[in-house]
Amino acid sequence: MRSTRKTASISQVAKLLFAKDRVALFLHTNPDGDAIGASVALALSLQRAGKTVGVFCDMPIGDKITSSFAETKIISDKFSGKYDLMVAVDCGDANRLGKFSAAFCNFAETLTIDHHGGEYYSAYNLVLQYASSCQIVYEVLRQSQIEIDDVIATYLYMGLCTDTGNFSHNYTDRACFLTAADLCSCGADMERVNRVFFKDTTLTETRLLARALSHMRIFYDGQMVLLYLTQTDLKEFDADLGDTSGIVQYAINVDTAKIGVMLTECSPHTYKVSMRGKDFPVRDVCRQFGGGGHLYASGCMLSGFLEDVIEKIVRTVGFSI
Ligand SMILES: [Mn+2]
């Protein structure tokens, strides 16, 4: 156990980072646009300042992102090198560093840059209630008087826009827009970020969406909309679970819907259930089936025949709708 865990300010972190010669950055597992954007932007800035930098994630980054944003290839899933400082980026919990968690926690000089809150697990902790980690890294870079070029700006914009649901969530604040405006003048490729993270779909994903929509079921006068895909559907399109992410959004997008449900038969008679709520705490429903998640975005697993699984959900929702 580390004895001292300190809160660090933007200016202290700017000094600390650029005082070290060799810096290792770590991302959480299932890295999102903010984790990738913040760590790559920071890595490129440190490299440009002459530092040796390693970036590590216990999971390879998908082709979709590495092929569109080439510098992402700096992220490796195998640790190597010697470092003076280890930095966890966008990670509120050391366990989310996966196989790198123990090595990180046993190292003396560690820093967390994050906006999730949670327990401090690093020697220095820059944890701010910001909309994205990229916003924090942006302020660190501005404080360090590092030049933000078009590539770094694109990565920072990536986190800004993905963590705010493309500037649509209610915590999107003035700072987000001001930073976005500045990154725009630095040459951020906003069009590419938007296309890759918010528009691009594969043919398989589009076929699955069409099939799921064709299975639409409506309950409680449109207050609950349910979509599903069976094993037969997945096999027909040679698809896997990853191709179905985002489909649940089409259920909750129906204007009358308070609850959107997506069932995916991941193995015979076993369904992955994703739920979204509009002013309806779907987590309470998922918890009754041993699942959980966020208040308005939750999931669980259910076994049985399709119609029985649907019936179970409809009945449970019926108690609180
Ligand atoms: Mn984040």
228: CA distance to ligand 1 center in Å? 30
Q: What are the tokens at 266?
A: 């991941």
In-domain check, residue 18: yes
In-domain check, residue 252: yes
State the pLDDT at residue 117.
Answer: 82
38: CA distance to ligand 1 center in Å? 9
163: CA distance to ligand 1 center in Å? 6
66: CA distance to ligand 1 center in Å? 19
179: CA distance to ligand 1 center in Å? 16
224 with 211, same domain: the answer is yes
pLDDT in tens, 60-96: 998 989 999 999 999 999 999 999 999 999 999 999 9
C-alpha to C-alpha distance for 268 and 235, rounded to whole angstroms: 12
Mean pLDDT of the chain: 95
In-domain check, residue 59: yes
Displacement of CA 256 from its chain's centroid (Å): 28
155: CA distance to ligand 1 center in Å? 13
176: CA distance to ligand 1 center in Å? 13
102 with 36, same domain: the answer is yes
Displacement of CA 197 from its chain's centroid (Å): 11
Q: What are the tokens at 127?
A: 């944890």
56: CA distance to ligand 1 center in Å? 17
233: CA distance to ligand 1 center in Å? 33
305 with 174, same domain: the answer is no
What are 112's strand-pairing partners? 88, 125
What CATH number is associated with residue 20?
A: 3.90.1640.10
Name the strand (E) or helix (H) holding 265: strand 259-267
State the pLDDT at residue 319.
Answer: 82
Quote the crossing angle between the two packed helices 10-19 and 33-48, to the nearest 10°: 50
Last residue of a domain, one of 199, 232, 263: 199
In-domain check, residue 1: no
Last residue of a domain, one of 140, 175, 199: 199
The answer to whether residues 35 and 133 touch, using CB atoms and an 8 Å cutoff, is: yes
Share of the chain above pLDDT 70, in %: 99
Number of domains observed in the structure of the chain: 2
252 with 142, same domain: the answer is no
60 with 167, same domain: the answer is yes
pLDDT in tens, 91-114: 999 999 999 999 999 999 999 999
306 with 281, same domain: the answer is yes
175 with 208, same domain: the answer is no
296 with 168, same domain: the answer is no
114 with 72, same domain: the answer is yes
58 with 141, same domain: the answer is yes
115: CA distance to ligand 1 center in Å? 7
What CATH number is associated with residue 280?
A: 3.10.310.30
160: CA distance to ligand 1 center in Å? 9
125: CA distance to ligand 1 center in Å? 15
pLDDT in tens, 232-287: 999 999 998 889 988 999 999 999 999 999 999 999 999 999 999 999 999 999 99
pLDDT in tens, 169-187: 888 999 999 999 999 999 9
Nearest to 231 by CA among 272, 197, 289: 272
210 with 193, same domain: the answer is no
Range of the domain at 305: 203-318
The pTM for the full model equals 0.86
Displacement of CA 110 from its chain's centroid (Å): 23
pLDDT in tens, 301-317: 999 999 999 999 999 99
Residue 240 identity: D
318: CA distance to ligand 1 center in Å? 35
C-alpha to C-alpha distance for 189 and 32, rounded to whole angstroms: 18
CA distances from 305 to 56, 263, 264, 269 (A): 42, 12, 12, 6
Last residue of a domain, one of 199, 233, 248: 199
189 with 257, same domain: the answer is no
Nearest to 301 by CA among 276, 277, 270: 270
